[in-house]
Amino acid sequence: MVVNPVRLVGRATLAVVRGVGQVALFAARALAAPGFRPRLLGEQLVRIGWLSLPVVGMTALFTGAALALQINAGGERFQAGDVVPAIVAIGMVRELGPVLGGLMVAARVASSIAAELGSMRVTEQIDALVTLSVDPMGWLVTPRLWAAILSVPVLVGVGDIIGIMGGWVVGTTSLGFTSQGYLANSFAYLESWDVMSGLIKGAVFGGIVALAGCWFGMRAARGAEGVGRATTNAVVAASVGILAGNFLLTGLFFT
């Protein structure tokens, strides 16, 4: 009665540590895999970065607009409505831009990568690559991982601008701000580290998204059910990883 709960906790702890170690080794092997192919990287930059721009841009636009309305409604209680532009800009650049952009990319890209690699695993295409003496890590995982790391910060930067413009539209049409005054207040309190911290978060979140998709896709079980389970697990793991990583990075950067 006393040993069994301790044993269960020990087993769970060892399982978590073992899983983290396996994922870390998988990521290190993918980042350092030989046989770099610029063509494959370019294809993944388009698929992960360019094709994700519409959903990230729309999300940032409506988020910035809604944030301006909420901050104005709350600020009026304390006669602090003038801080709307600054808080929208800081909130988008530091937190909402990277997190929401990462979550949108996770929903679109992690599922796509897991489904694609899982289908290749089920149909034995990955085994065929090994038979042809082609490293599956360098051919399949490395381009996707580097493409996500490089493209998501760009998406975050574009999303930040669009989100600030969404707040500007609401501020100038509904909240009584002038265009020049709103933009001046938006950028008056922004610091370079605010922008850089968001871009660093974007790179980390991109790595988390691609790593989750590749990890679960490469380990998908046989059959359609295995591919579906890998896709679901990839999206869940990427989303939770982004939120947990955001908390850790925010604590590291701003405390």
Give the tens place of pLDDT for each residue, 57-94: 999 999 999 999 999 888 777 777 788 899 999 999 99
pLDDT band with cut points at 50, 70 and 90 for residue 105: very high
Is residue 8, in this structure, part of any structural domain at all?
no
pLDDT band with cut points at 50, 70 and 90 for residue 203: very high
The answer to whether residue 1 scores a pLDDT higher than 70 is no
Instruction: Find the mean pLDDT for residues 148-165.
Output: 95
Is residue 59, in this structure, part of any structural domain at all?
yes
Is residue 19, in this structure, part of any structural domain at all?
no
Q: Cβ(229)–Cβ(221) under 8 Å?
A: yes
The answer to whether residue 3 scores a pLDDT higher than 70 is no
Is residue 201, in this structure, part of any structural domain at all?
yes
Please name the amino acid found at residue 43: E
Full domain range(s) for residue 165 = 36-254
Instruction: Find the mean pLDDT for residues 210-237.
Output: 91
Please return the burial class of 62, using the count of CB atoms within 10 Å of its CB with bins 0-12, 13-18 and 19+: middle
Give the tens place of pLDDT for each residue, 118-155: 999 888 888 888 888 788 888 899 999 999 999 999 99
Is residue 61, in this structure, part of any structural domain at all?
yes
Is residue 200, in this structure, part of any structural domain at all?
yes
Number of domain units in the chain: 1
pLDDT band with cut points at 50, 70 and 90 for residue 201: very high
Is residue 20, in this structure, part of any structural domain at all?
no
Q: What is the pLDDT of residue 2?
A: 54
The model's pTM: 0.90
pLDDT mean across residues, the chain: 90
Is residue 64, in this structure, part of any structural domain at all?
yes
